Chain A
Amino acid sequence: MDAKEIIARRVAQEIAPGSLVNLGIGLPSLVASFVPVERGVFFQAENGVIGLGARPPEGMEDPDLTDAGGGFVTAVPGAASIDSVMSFGLIRGGHLDVTVLGGLQVDARGLLANWMVPGHMVPGMGGAMDLVAGARRVIVAMQHTARGKPKIVARCTLPLTALRPVSLIVTELAVIRPEADGLHLLECGPGVTPEAVQAATEAPLILSGGIREMTL
């Protein structure tokens, strides 16, 4: 199982039955395939659909039915198409149960940076700032390091997405929960020791006992 699949499978376990969930572009979007249909979860795409379904078969695409990345999707029975006012009203208004977002950095305070690298990459924040400000739970799904460098740092050096700490960080090495006193290591990836997680993490981790191995 590769790193991305470990992350997607573990995040999927966090999605409660019947919840409304927004998945970011890229790695977070993989989570949907590990959430069983019978869990009754509705996925929102912020461009305007509640009840996002799988990719349509070739030749069955509707040019007016896409996800936030512009890819063709389907709508499940019971889906609703909405405009941007309603879509962001749901997000900012606290009606979204979970948002799963990618991250460039998360720091010891649990703060996320995921929208620009000054001088290199300025794509824009899209809906990320609203999602972090307004969703009930914010889960960061990202690989633990980038080119060997820790992405979980003492303090973000990249521009922040919001001042609100995220609820949970899931990587291929660990599940980490930010709290007022710091980052608590809850679970380690398959075959990974807490020491190995700390070695790949710049921010200090709190090992408060009862650390489990991820069950996938």
Chain B
Amino acid sequence: MKTAITAAQAAALVPDGAVVLIGGFMAVGSPHRLIDALVARGARDLTIIANDTAMPGKGIGKLITARAARRVIASHIGLNPETQAQMIAGALEVELVPQGTLVERIRAAGVGLGGVLTPTGVGTLVAEGKQVLTLEGRDYLLEMPLKADVALIAAHEADYLGNLNYSLTAHNFNPVMALAATTTIAEPGQIVPVGVIPPDAVKTPGVLVDHILERPH
């Protein structure tokens, strides 16, 4: 059984300079209370790996506005002018990764693969500095795993074993991110007794979850 922790306790588990996976897609399915707690703690120099940086004042956008990040690895920053402004000013390093490649690099780290071969990005700016392998007549880029210190993910429900399920388009990157960090902290919409989430409905087994965020008061 796991003990639910407070948002402040969770934020203390994310040291300055940490590499952090954060779930969500344009702030849908993001761990909003964990993000708020990181901002409140005044986190600095984070490397944030996420699909996008949302919008100013929403989701991961709050961490950008608070200047908590030194580096961002994402597929899209177009809806957050602050990310672009900090990048142009040289205050924030941004690595843009095709979305499907980002998913698989995270998955590779989580499932013990040494890298991923993908046709995506061959012959484009994304291919610069990367190894190209030709297999059965087709070119692939070798993309390396993306491992993190901490994963901050959002779920629909959790039980006290850490089993998680998700809702509609709030799945997005959350299930795969649960695999790829040394410490995974889940922010569920609600916490239910063990057994309430039936085995077939568990999308992330509790063995992957180190901490559960307590319910909002």
Contact = CB atoms under 8 A, between A and B. Distances in A.
A84 interface: yes
Interface string A117-148: 00001111111111001100000000000000
Contacts of B170: 64
A143 B198 CA distance: 50
A56 interface: no
A84 B103 contact: yes
Contact of B103 (A68, A88, A162): A88
B78 interface: yes
A85 interface: yes
B101 interface: yes
Interface in A50-82: 62-66, 68-70, 75, 81-82
A46 B79 CA distance: 17
B122 interface: yes
B166 A83 contact: yes
B103 to A, nearest CB: 5
Given A47-B26, A49-B169, A83-B175, A92 B119 contact: yes
A161 interface: yes
A196 interface: no
Contacts of B156: 64
B96 interface: yes
A75 B168 contact: yes
Interface in A81-104: 81-85, 88, 91-92
Contacts of B203: 83
B168 A83 contact: no
A44 to B, nearest CB: 11
A125 B169 contact: no
B75 A125 contact: yes
B100 A48 contact: no
Contacts of A122: 77, 84, 87, 96
Interface string B102-137: 011001000000000011111111100000000000
Interface residues of A, number: 39
Contacts of A30: none
A15 B87 CA distance: 40
A159 B74 contact: no
A123 B171 contact: no
A214 interface: no
A48, A84, A123: which has the most chain B beta carbons within 10 Å? A84
A122 B118 CA distance: 23
B183 interface: no
B25 A88 contact: no
B8 to A, nearest CB: 25
A41 interface: no
Interface of B: 25-29, 51-52, 55, 74-79, 84, 87, 96, 98-101, 103-104, 107, 118-126, 156, 166-176, 203
27 contacts: A47-B169, A64-B29, A66-B28, A66-B169, A68-B26, A70-B26, A81-B167, A85-B103, A88-B103, A92-B119, A92-B120, A124-B74, A124-B76, A125-B96, A125-B98, A126-B99, A127-B99, A129-B101, A129-B120, A129-B126, A130-B100, A130-B101, A130-B120, A133-B122, A134-B100, A162-B120, A162-B123
Interface of A: 45-49, 62-66, 68-70, 75, 81-85, 88, 91-92, 121-130, 133-134, 159-163
Given A66-B25, A129-B124, 13 more contacts: A47-B28, A48-B25, A64-B156, A65-B168, A81-B169, A82-B171, A84-B171, A84-B173, A122-B77, A124-B76, A124-B78, A128-B98, A162-B124
Top 7 nearest A-B pairs by Cβ distance?
A123-B78, A88-B100, A163-B123, A130-B100, A70-B26, A124-B76, A129-B98
